[in-house]
Amino acid sequence: MKVPFEKVLEKAQSYKADMVKFLRDMVAIPSESCEERDVVLRIKEEMEKVGFDKVVIDPMGNILGYIGHGKHLIGMDAHIDTVGIGEIKNWTFDPYKGFEDDVHIGGRGTSDQEGGMASMVYAAKIIKDLGLEDDYTLVITGTVQEEDCDGLCWQYIIEEDKVRPEFVVSTEPTSCRIYRGHRGRMEIKVSVRGISCHGSAPERGDNAIYKMAPIIEQVKELNEKGLAYDPFLGKGTVTISQIFHKSPSRCAVADGCWISLDRRLTVGENDKTSIAEIEALPGVKAANAKVEMYRYERPSYTGLLYPTECYFPTWVIPEESVFVQSMKQGYEGLFKKEPVIDKWTFSTNGVSIMGRYGIPCIGFGPGDEKEAHAPNEKTRKEDLVICAAMYAVLPGLYLENLKK
């Protein structure tokens, strides 16, 4: 089937106002991790309105909308939870009422990443309107708890829902560029034990905070001296993100101290190598410190508990792959210019989709990465149009390229 690029772009433009309204409706519904119920119901309403063939809310609370009945299952994903608003004084407008002008829509979630959901839903409508359905089934997912634990939702979708697409498009913000990977990450806990005593005679005890001090310095040095490096993804990093202590009182020697490490993983690094690096630090050995991964154990808004280790693997998809090339072809066909191909700085559900399960994943989304988690978050209206058009042509181009 010859892809009607001009007609698709015209349709996408014609639905601009619908996408803007839908996005503003989602923004107006607070939907932090584990509190997404109401925004999921609003998405269900829009999916049914535009004519999805099937809409399912799974036991975790993810929403899966299907169009088509072909043998090739293709996925497109947007997480629909957001972070909180932070310090309200840093906002120049209400983060949930948002704002709209000729170019932008503002509000929490506009870039990160409910804008992607708006574009996906209307891409499905364009496919229906123009009869672009082929031998594929498109599953569009609105996933939960990503901000809390990226990829957990897709662990559930793959393992429990038994939904395994041939490839998945992540609609996280890419500034309408094609992204083909990002560093992984893990959350590490380092704990030391001491012995408490009265603060008036500290020599009688064993201060856990003092024992942690050299470990803190050595973690800093580990990051500065250089971890692994990849020409595309860049270098691995480690930083201390939190520090805690335990003591009988403010007049006592601390008998416990622990720190949290945010470890970013480049190509060739994984959970085992990263734990081993921390265990090898002289301060860790001297203090007989315990090094372990954190676990995520928070129930979803449905009450379902699906624990996992806080390890989120690195992933990269080759530029020459059929997935990247199909998207590149779609961009060139629609916009008559070369796309920028790059990577994310932050982490996405791709850590599970491709990092954990090896399902090819590629990124293309409205909005800018720098807007994520920031006050005065916004996205461009035109990005919604661009992305809806891209999502509508991609499945057909992929099938076309499989036949070559």
In 3D space, the residue among 290, 214, 207 whose CA is nearest the CA of residue 254 turns out to be 207
8 A C-beta contact, residue 78 and residue 114: yes
The 10 Å CB-count burial string (b at 16+, else e) for 350-361 is bbbbbbbbebbb
- Name the amino acid, one letter, at 30: P
Distance from C-alpha of 365 to C-alpha of 342, rounded to nearest angstrom: 13
User: Six-digit token pair at 347?
Assistant: 């982490």
Q: What is 192-233 written as a DSSP string?
A: EE-B--BTT-GGGSB-HHHHHHHHHHHHHHHHHH---EETTT
8 A C-beta contact, residue 257 and residue 209: yes
Distance from C-alpha of 285 to C-alpha of 192, rounded to nearest angstrom: 10
User: Six-digit token pair at 255?
Assistant: 């008998």
Residues in Cβ contact with 2 at an 8 Å cutoff, skipping those fewer than 6 apart: none
- Tokens 């634990």 locate to 149
CA 146 → CA 1, 33, 351, distances in Å? 36, 7, 11
Indicate which residue of 18, 81, 269, 368 is catalytic. 81
Distance from C-alpha of 19 to C-alpha of 5, rounded to nearest angstrom: 20
State the CB neighbour count (10 A cutoff) for residue 291.
19
Active site residue 146: yes
Indicate which residue of 58, 112, 146, 277 is catalytic. 146
Instruction: Reply yes or no: is the peptide bond before residue 113 cis, omega within 30 of 0.
Output: yes
**Strand ranges (E), 276-400:** 290-293, 295-296, 308-309, 311-312, 315-316, 341-342, 361-363, 378-380
Q: Which helix (H) or strand (E) holds 343?
A: none
Task: Using DSSP bridges, classify how beta strands 72-79 and 136-143 pair: parallel, antiparallel or unpaired.
Answer: parallel
Active site residue 112: no
The residues carrying an active-site annotation are: 81, 146
